[in-house]
């Protein structure tokens, strides 16, 4: 993932065989992970992107290792062709997270290929430049001085590409977290660690690229990252790309409607802007009332896996409309709205004498929570105190009343 066209390092004689074994071993393991990845049954788009990424990362690793072994002089026709590969990793990282998190919104197919234009341009430039830019001096190959500015520009482009795509990937991660809270009432079993580690791993590699371009260090960093990428990537299941079969889960793009798409067409005929706003307000109030009635009578919040799609189906409204109503009328996300109801239900059953024999966690599970961490976090957020402190305060109030 870096440029080693001017830094051929010769290995000590005693270390040559050791590093050669490490090189062969790392490439072999990477190739094995690639085979396992492409053999994964029922691959979604994110899996295919990951498999393609592993394929190019394998070749990049081979190039870096070839430089680290000091063998590039034996194959001068490969000199400089490592440069296009770093332009691929940022786009692959971004697109993988984009599809894994279900955030792809546009309808133009194959538009993602534009992300790889810089890599293609570098390939075209190298095809014309390398035959004239590389010369052999004292047995080693290097770049002619007049071509060095061009290669410095390409290196700068590599660094800029890495930084930009890492920033874009973090932005996708932030939006993914928000989308989860818009549709899921419990996030205890939903972890974003895979994406965090993936972006962090890429960040470490780019730090090595920027501050330490030693082939040995870069080779081992990339090799470890590929092992991580292949092993854990095979096990990943997208929250939105592979939704739960029992519960309604929608792609985030369905909730990202513009103002024109958010109007309720079935029940409202818009004639004037004033009438439109008035009728939409009435419709929103109606949905809010039906939602409150449903939650009170059916106690849907007690379902630990309740989703926005589930409620939208029960109310026969579009999930984007229901999400907008909850945001505007309740001033909460779906996640906060449902968990607030669970907290209120917990406070209510805590006052029931027959429930005194149960633990706080047992009562929390009865109200729809599925983990102690989630219960404590949400309770403190709503009640501004821990469940234990609330229970003590409640007992003191009872004692004082008696």
pLDDT digits (tens, 9 = 90+) for 163-222: 999 999 999 888 888 877 777 776 665 667 778 888 888 888 888 877 766 767 777 777
- The residue among 349 and 236 whose pLDDT is bigger is 349
The answer on pLDDT for 246 being more than 60 is: no
The pLDDT, as a whole number, for residue 265 is 39
The answer on pLDDT for 300 being more than 60 is: yes
How far is Cα 29 from Cα 21, in angstroms, rounded to an integer? 12
The answer on pLDDT for 253 being more than 70 is: no
- The residue among 31 and 252 whose pLDDT is bigger is 31
Q: In this structure, how many other beta carbons lie within 10 angstroms of the beta carbon of residue 284?
A: 16
Region 105-128 average pLDDT:
84
Region 9-19 average pLDDT:
51
The answer on pLDDT for 153 being more than 50 is: yes
How far is Cα 2 from Cα 155, in angstroms, rounded to an integer? 8
The pLDDT, as a whole number, for residue 220 is 76
How far is Cα 337 from Cα 332, in angstroms, rounded to an integer? 6
Mean of pLDDT over the chain: 76
The answer on pLDDT for 3 being more than 90 is: no
How far is Cα 256 from Cα 247, in angstroms, rounded to an integer? 20
What is Dmax (Cα atoms) for the chain?
97
DSSP H/E element including 114: none
CATH class, domain 13-235, is mainly alpha
The domain spans of the chain are 13-235, 252-401
DSSP H/E element including 55: helix 45-68
The answer on pLDDT for 270 being more than 70 is: no
Q: Which CATH superfamily is domain 252-401 in?
A: Homeodomain-like (1.10.10.60)
Instruction: For residue 134, give the DSSP letter.
Output: E
- The residue among 170 and 229 whose pLDDT is bigger is 170
The pLDDT, as a whole number, for residue 189 is 59
The pLDDT, as a whole number, for residue 262 is 41
The pLDDT, as a whole number, for residue 120 is 94
The pLDDT, as a whole number, for residue 400 is 66
Q: Which residues contact 2 (CB under 8 A, 6 or more apart)?
A: 64, 82, 86, 158, 208, 209, 213, 218
pLDDT interval class at 161 (50, 70, 90) = very high
How much of the chain exceeds pLDDT 90, in percent? 10
């Amino acid at each position: 993932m870096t440029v080693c066209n001017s830094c051929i390092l010769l290995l000590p004689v005693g270390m040559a065989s050791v590093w050669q074994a490490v090189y062969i071993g790392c490439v072999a393991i990477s190739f094995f992970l690639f085979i396992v990845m492409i053999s994964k049954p029922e691959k979604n788009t994110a899996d295919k992107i990951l498999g393609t990424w592993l394929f190019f990362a394998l070749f990049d690793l081979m190039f870096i290792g070839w430089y680290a072994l000091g063998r590039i002089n034996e194959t001068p026709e490969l000199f400089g062709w490592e440069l296009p590969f770093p332009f691929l990793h940022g786009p692959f990282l971004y697109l993988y997270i984009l599809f894994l998190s279900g955030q792809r919104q546009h309808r133009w197919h194959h538009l993602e290929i534009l992300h790889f234009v810089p890599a293609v341009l570098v390939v075209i430039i190298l095809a014309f430049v390398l035959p004239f830019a590389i010369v052999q001096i004292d047995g080693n190959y290097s770049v002619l001085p007049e071509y060095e500015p061009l290669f410095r520009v390409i290196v700068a482009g590599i660094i800029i590409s890495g930084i930009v795509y890492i920033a874009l990937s973090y932005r996708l991660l932030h939006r993914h977290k928000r989308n989860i809270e818009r549709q899921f009432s419990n996030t205890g079993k939903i972890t974003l660690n895979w994406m965090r580690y993936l972006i962090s791993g890429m960040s470490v590699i780019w730090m090595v690229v920027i501050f330490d371009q030693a082939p040995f260090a870069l080779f081992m960093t990339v090799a470890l990252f590929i092992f991580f990428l292949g092993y854990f990537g095979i096990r990943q299941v997208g929250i939105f790309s592979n939704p739960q079969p029992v519960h309604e889960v929608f792609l985030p793009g369905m909730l990202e409607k513009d103002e024109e798409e958010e109007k309720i067409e079935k029940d409202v005929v818009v004639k004037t802007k004033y009438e439109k706003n008035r009728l939409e307000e009435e419709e929103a109030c109606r949905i809010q009332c039906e939602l409150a009635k449903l939650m009170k009578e059916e106690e849907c919040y007690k379902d630990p896996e309740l989703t926005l799609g589930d409620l939208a189906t029960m109310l026969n409204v579009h999930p984007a409309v229901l999400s907008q109503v909850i945001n505007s009328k309740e001033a909460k996300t779906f996640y906060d709205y449902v968990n607030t109801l669970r907290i209120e239900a917990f406070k209510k059953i805590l006052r029931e004498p027959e429930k005194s024999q149960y633990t706080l966690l047992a009562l929390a599970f009865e109200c729809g929570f599925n983990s102690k961490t989630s219960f404590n976090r949400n309770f403190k957020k709503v009640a501004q105190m821990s469940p234990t402190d609330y229970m003590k305060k409640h007992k003191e109030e009872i004692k004082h009343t008696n």
